[in-house]
Amino acid sequence: MGDYIDPFSIFALFNYQGIAHQKKINILESIKNEFTIEVETPKIFDGIPAMNIYKLCFFNPKSNAIQNEINSLWELFEIAINYAKNNTNENRQNFIEKYDTINIKGTKFKLTMGLFWIRPFNYINLDKTNIKFINYKLPNYSQNIKTLPNGKEYLNLCDNLLEDIKKIKEYDKLKNLILDKKNIILQGSAGVGKSYAAKRLAYSIIGEEDNERVKMIQFHQSYSYEDFIIGYRPAKGKEGFKLKKGVFYKFCKKVEMDENKENKYFLIIDEINRGNISKIFGELFMLIENDKRGEEYALELVYKDDEKFFVPENLYIIGLMNTADRSLAMLDYALRRRFAFYDMKPAFESEQFKEYQKNLKNSKFDNLIKKVEELNEVIKEDLGEGFCIGHSYFCNLETVEIDKLSLIIEFELIPLLKEYWFDDKEKVKKWEDELENSIK
């Protein structure tokens, strides 16, 4: 074990406030050479927390038990790395016990910084900057860090915070994508929650659940330019035809009439790949591009050449697409060029779903979810990830009823498998039996 210094204090020697950038690089270069480390020396240190130069030691230099403190810090260092590598219950318990035994004056909060230094994707640093971020972005956790957490509380906090921070980063990425591109497609297999995600994304950017600024429609094979933009339709109760405005035309005009151009509007198009996109958008396809928005790019309409039409800059389009749909292959380059594509996957492993599953407290439900995850591995291997069964088939249950689970299997999952493996009845039958047996 370490006789003179602990590993966290070594990290502090090149992670203190005010250290010159080149000096930090030189120290790391020396460590690299000393231990024959075959990786490139870091040059960028953004986001790495720094220690107060007057408090670099993780042990207490004035303590009578200084060697015991250093030994304990080395032990925690090794245990923390083992747990990050293999998060078994045994390794977790080892971490909790060792973390709780360390009682070095002024070190506990500082220790979270050291843990972050050695494994930043597993441990949260609870310094003032992060606590301020948590209070602002994740207020539900702010109560948990007003006092020093014990080992169990700290790991629970790390698990939940890292999951939520991951969601925030993913949300920010998706938000920036649509605000920049103006048109995105959420694509994924059946049941991954595309419709729900699209609405939540729109509402979150708007800042409230305003249905006046979010409109949802669905494309289908018979959907036309006349339905979407403008066209002649039989006049009600009269002979002949009347020029009628379509849903996109009317929504664009609604956005245009809003004097506050900072207000953002969202058109959500479900099953966007089922329609003939070029036919539906017609000559206006160009106008949805992010650099062709606004009045200066206005075009004359086929059915109304006395008026020029444009797509407002503050209108955003979210398309939804089932990757398991056989018509997906028919998507043309024109659509792919004008939309950014964002993949959505089943979330059975997410902390949110696990918590939902845990609260249901039902072994039959647990068995079914485990079996569906096994089925997804087979589907992924056979057909691809875009065909996996999504988690939303099993959401919104307040209590678990076997009859309800049986209905989900019989009328939602089995028809899906029959479509996937239409030429392999034996495989369908095998998984039909396994799914049904999982809830018996």
Give the three-class secondary structure for 236: coil
What secondary structure, in 3-state letters, does the chain show?
Answer: CCCCCCHHHHHHCCCECCCCHHHHHHHHHHHHHHCCCCCCCCCCCCCCCCECHHHCCCCCCCCCCHHHHHHHHHHHHHHHHHHHHCCCHHHHHHHHHHHHHCCCCCCHHHHHHHHHHHCCCCCCCCCHHHHHHHHHHCHHHHHHHCCCCCHHHHHHHHHHHHHHHHHHHHHHHHHHHHHHHCEEEEEECCCCCHHHHHHHHHHHHHCCCCCCCEEEEECCCCCCHHHHCEEEEECCCCCCEEEEECHHHHHHHHHHHCCCCCCCEEEEEECHHHCCHHHHHHHHHHHHCCCCCCHHHCEEECCEEEEEECCCCCEEEEEEEECCCHHHHHCCHHHHHHCEEEECCCCCCCHHHHHHHHHHCCHHHHHHHHHHHHHHHHHHHHCCHHHCCCHHHHCCCCCCCHHHHHHHHHHHHHHHHHHHCCCCHHHHHHHHHHHHHCCC
Tell me: the pLDDT tens digits for 302-356? 777 778 899 999 999 999 999 887 555 556 677 788 899 999 999 898 877 888 8
234 beta partners: 241
DSSP string, 35-102: TT--SPPP---TT---B-GGG--SS-TT-TTHHHHHHHHHHHHHHHHHHHH---HHHHHHHHHHHHH-
CA–CA separation, 49 vs 117, rounded Å? 8
> Which helix (H) or strand (E) segment is 408 a member of?
helix 402-408
CA–CA separation, 338 vs 278, rounded Å? 12
Boundaries of every domain in the chain: 7-158, 182-343, 351-437
CB neighbours of residue 121 within 10 Å: 8
Q: The domain 182-343: what is its CATH number?
A: 3.40.50.300
Q: What is the pLDDT of residue 1?
A: 43
Q: What is the pLDDT of residue 3?
A: 61
Determine contact, residues 178/341, Cβ cutoff 8 Å.
no
End-to-end CA distance of the chain: 54
- ∠ at Cα 123 (167, 373), nearest 5°? 50
CA–CA separation, 280 vs 167, rounded Å? 35
Q: How are beta strands 340-343 and 183-188 bridged, if at all?
A: parallel
- What proportion of the chain, given as a percentage, has pLDDT over 90? 54
Q: What is the pLDDT of residue 165?
A: 72
For 1, what's the count of Cα atoms within 13 Å in the CB-facing half-sphere?
Answer: 13
Tell me: the pLDDT tens digits for 254-299? 999 999 999 999 999 999 988 888 889 888 888 999 999 999 999 9
Mean pLDDT per 10-residue interval, the chain, length 440 residues: 78 92 93 90 88 88 86 95 93 95 83 94 88 75 69 87 76 91 92 91 88 94 90 76 89 94 95 87 89 91 82 95 70 79 89 85 94 94 91 89 93 93 93 93
51 beta partners: 16
Say what the pTM is.
0.69
- ∠ at Cα 251 (271, 344), nearest 5°? 30
Q: What tokens were used for 168?
A: 């925030």
